[in-house]
Amino acid sequence: MRLVVASDSHGAAWRLADAVRQQPDAAALFFLGDGESDLRLLREQYPGLKIYAVSGNCDGSCSNLPELDAAELAGVKIMFTHGHRYAVKSTEENLLAAARARGAQIALYGHTHKPSYRYEDGVHLFNPGSAEEHSYGVVDITGAGIFCFHCKV
């Protein structure tokens, strides 16, 4: 199962659409905040695409999206958040602890605008970077394991 992961589009909705277009086999998109209004374009262009989304610190107090959510796909529990509530600009430890507490095997986050990947104690911590800055991520969940990698649009 292939997942597209994107964050921090900040009005560059076409970059999200480009990322989805580059991954035609993707089963879903995980959007990690700061560009909630950009999802409208994706929903119009890809009405069948499953979209999981959370709000970011720039999405405003009127957002209808949660700040933290979880999903289970292909038997893998995925926790996803923007990351600002976990102080990810200075440490990933708070996010790692939250993922462990929820039994998540993957923790997706944004906010820093810097692509990042770390594996520790059974948890894949993955930041796709900023879609506004041409970066997104892909997570492949296969019988051989979980693979996370960064891509450019």
Give per-residue pLDDT as tens, 72-125: 999 999 999 999 999 999 999 999 999 999 999 999 999 999 999 999 999 999
Degrees (nearest 5) of the Cα angle 129, 131, 134? 90
State phi, psi for 2 to the nearest 5 degrees.
-105, 135
Task: List the domains of the chain with CATH numbers.
Answer: 2-152 (3.60.21.10)
Q: How far is the C-alpha of 120 from the C-alpha of 35, rounded, in Å?
A: 29
**What is this structure's pTM?**
0.97
Structure tokens of 100?
């462990």
